[in-house]
Amino acid sequence: MLGTTELLLLGGLALLLFGGKKVPEMMRGLGQGVKEFKNGMKDVNETIDSVKKDITTSEVSESNTLHSDIQEQNESKEL
């Protein structure tokens, strides 16, 4: 992780290289990129959670069906 001194040096270097007008534009673009990345990660996490929920629901449904089939077989054997 960068410390305060390193950040100040990088900021000063950026100011010298790109000028006072370009640096805010670049930071704005960087901020928008970070925002889009976070939104993309949120979408991915929501999709993963949805798939997990679907898998769990289908497993429970299959388990209930299997349990019902076993009960029916046992009942037919008893008769």
Residue 8 domain-assigned? no
Render pLDDT for 3-35 as a digit per residue (tens, 0 to 9): 999 989 988 898 899 888 888 898 899 899 999
Q: Report CA-CA distances (Å) from 49 to 5, 43, 61, 63.
A: 41, 10, 18, 21
pLDDT digits 0-9 by tens, 70-79? 777 777 776 6
Whose structure tokens read 């990088």? 10
Q: Is 13 part of any domain? A: no
pTM of the full predicted structure? 0.55
What is the domain range of residue 61? 20-78
Q: Is residue 42 part of a domain?
A: yes
* Position 11 in a domain: no
Alpha-carbon torsion (65, 67, 68, 69), positive or negative? positive
**In the chain, how many domains are there?**
1
Residue 4 lies in a domain: no
The residues near 15 (Cβ < 8 Å, ≥ 6 apart) are: 23
